[in-house]
Every structure is written in C-alpha cells, then in structure tokens.
Amino acid sequence: MDKIVALCKRRGFIYPGSEIYGGLANSWDYGPLGVELKNNIKQAWWKRFVHLREDIVGIDAALIMNPKVWEASGHVANFQDPLVECKKCHERFRADHIKNGICPNCGTKDSFTSEQMFNLMFKTFIGPAEESSNIAYFRPETAQAMFVDFKSVCDTNRMRLPFGIAQIGKAFRNEITPGNFIFRTREFEQMEIEYFISPPKNNSDWQGFFELWRKEILNWIKDDLGVDMNKIHEHEIEAGERAHYSKRTIDFEYDFPFGCSELYGLAYRTDFDLKNHEKFSGQNLKYKDPETGEEFIPHVIEPTWGVDRSVLVALLDAYSEKEGRVVLKLQPKLAPYKAAIFPLLANKPELIKLAHKVYLDLKQNLTIAWDDRGNIGKRYASQDEIGTPFCITVDFQSLEDSTVTVRDRDTTEQDRVKIADLMKYLTERI
C-alpha cells in the first residue's frame, strides 16, 4: 500500500486532500492521471451496463434529497454503526472492527466503553435557519434515487419488467474509522443498479436474477477491471449481519494488502424500498403490467460497485516491479494515457514538427502523452510507471518513410507501423 500511495502522489494519480492546509484526515483528491483512470472505469461500467443493454437506463439525481426519503428507507433509524471508545487513549472505533478486545491504537486490552449506536449520515441545513425543521442529509447511497424516480422512469421510458435503473455518483458516510487510503473515506462514489423484477412466486424466481447478477459482477471484475480472479472471494452474509432491507447479500471481496475486504456487493432488497416510499409519500408507486393490467410493487436485485475501491484494486493489481522499476500493467482501456509520443531528439525541428502532428492527430480520439525529455529508455520507464500501454517514437526514418516505432509496455516488443495506420493499430489493441 505504501508503494501505491507514494506512486499515486508522485505521478499525479491521487493527492492528500487540502494538503497546503495540512490536509484533512482521510480526504483525497484525484489528480490529472487519477481522474482519467477513474473516468475510464466509470465509462467502461456505463457502457457495459447502460449503453450495451436494452433493459437498463441511467439517471443522475440530486445529492440532497427530501429528508423523508431517509425516513422511508430506514436510514434515519437503522443506518448506524456501533461505536466504542478506548478508555486509555480515547480513540474511537467501530465495535465490529475490534479484534480480540485489543485497542488498534494503543494496544490496551478490554478497556472499551460500552457500545453506542452512531448514525453515519451527514446532516446539513437547507436555507439560512439552522432549525430542526430544515435538517437535510447528504445521501449515504445512490440507490434511493432509483426508487424515488421509479415511477417517472416507468412513465417516461415505457420500461417493461424486468428492467434496471443505473446511477453513478457521490455518497457520504460519516465513517467512524475511515482509512487504508481510498478504501474507506467519508466521501466516495458508487455505481449502482436497481434491477426491478416481478414479485417472485417462489424462491427460484428471484434466485435466478440474483445468480445472473452474481455472474455479471464477476465478469465485470475479470473483463473490465482486469484483475487476478484468484484474489476475489465471495462472502455470503449471514441473516443477522445483513443490512435491514436485505434478504440475501453476497460481498465480493479482494485480497487487499491490509486483508481480504469488500470490493462490491449484491443484495436482494425485496420490495422493501418501493413499499416504504409508497407508504411515506402517499403516492401510487405500483407498476402496471401492460398486458394484464395488473398492478403490483416490483422486487429488486441490487448490484453495487464502489468507484474508489475499483480504482484502488485496478492500481494494486496492475502494480509490478521489473529490475527495480515500476510497471503498471493496467488494462489498456483503463490506462490514463493510451500512448505516448516521443520525438527521438528534442533539438531537431523537423522531427518535432512531424511528432507533434502525430500527437495532435491521435489526440482527437485518444488520450495521448508527449515526452521529449531525456533518453528514450528513461521515457519508456516513466510511461511504464503510469501504465501507458504504447510508446511511439518518431525518428529520422519517420521523415523518410512515414513510419514510427511502437513499443508495447508488457512485452517491450517493437513494431514499425505506418503513421497512417497508427489509429487502427492502437484501437485494435486497446
């Protein structure tokens, strides 16, 4: 983890938040390379689950919703973690994160206060008066918007069951023990789908959809995030441990350097949310079957992905060292830069001119880096460290025959490619 954190800071993936003011504990800013990696992950997800499917549409809802949403969803009453304080060092912890009664900060055994429940939602006030009637919450999950907007989406898009509503966006949780870099923060992004199905007549009805989404999550991890599947473990959550709305939950865990921990989740939320929103809002949120005219509240399967945990896993899994140098073997489609352009010599105007033209042409469709400093070996090393899959050198031969050398990050093999064919060559391999 230390190596990843240092690399992220050194190369502009992720910096400590508000650093010039001494930082703000557990807040992180994505720098120029980090935002590209994060956006590539979000775009790959949106393409896979919204654009390539006929049964899922997207929304982008407000972060601050009517506070009644959180009463209906059960978050005001139930979204809480047990908090304990070490009587010796006065640090506070989540009681379920304490192992063998030992304080993770000072090592004292069995010196905790009794558990107090702590609600994780961030409160704020709407308007100038800080009165209880003006309390609002920053959303602790993106999911509720899909329930609140369910009827509008049904009406405006004529969706037919089974169908899903997807959203990517920020969520806020006043975590008792944030930490492990971007693994657990108080402000993070989620990619979520609420997949609505007809009320199941028997268990196998919903279990079939649950199984489909289980496979979809695994396929995403393998094909899009491109990580080592031996490091992924499915953890069936027992009844007593599940969130208040869930009838079945699987956590998809990854072998992080600090231990095996949750990456993504899959839950069967039943009709809990829509039913409660119907009750609290007084609105009819039933789905009307266009064939039979029958009205009912659909049930829901919810696959959920943390964006920041995806970034962390992509980085951890791609990290490798070769002869003391870092090579970040990111999936080419996730890499911040798809290629880097090197003019062989920085002081030859005709070389620079041609290289710059190649750079600008490719930049129309791909993210491309430019590097004219130091020798080519150093430039390769610098691009390997940030995961650029292809390095393109423009040399004297290029001036004569309009070809360039393309070097592959992972094999280090080189191809001589016509400048006119470069775009095709790169896109095929990305």
Residues that bind ligand ATP (CB under 6 A): 141, 173, 175, 184-185, 188, 190, 262-265, 304, 306, 308-309
Residue 192 or 371 having the CB closest to ligand ATP: 192
Q: How far apart are CB 216 and ligand ATP at their closest, in Å?
A: 15
Residue 210 or 380 having the CB closest to ligand ATP: 210
Q: How far apart are CB 60 and ligand ATP at their closest, in Å?
A: 18
Q: How far apart are CB 310 and ligand ATP at their closest, in Å?
A: 8
Residue 107 or 257 having the CB closest to ligand ATP: 257
Residue 221 or 326 having the CB closest to ligand ATP: 221
Q: Could you count the other beta carbons within 10 Å of the beta carbon of residue 360?
A: 12
d(CA 370, CA 366): 13
Residue 58 or 199 having the CB closest to ligand ATP: 58
Q: How far apart are CB 332 and ligand ATP at their closest, in Å?
A: 24
Q: How far apart are CB 183 and ligand ATP at their closest, in Å?
A: 6
Report the residue closest to ligand ATP, judged by CB.
306
Q: How far apart are CB 422 and ligand ATP at their closest, in Å?
A: 37
Residue 185 or 331 having the CB closest to ligand ATP: 185
d(CA 410, CA 379): 15
Residue 220 or 359 having the CB closest to ligand ATP: 220
Q: How far apart are CB 122 and ligand ATP at their closest, in Å?
A: 12
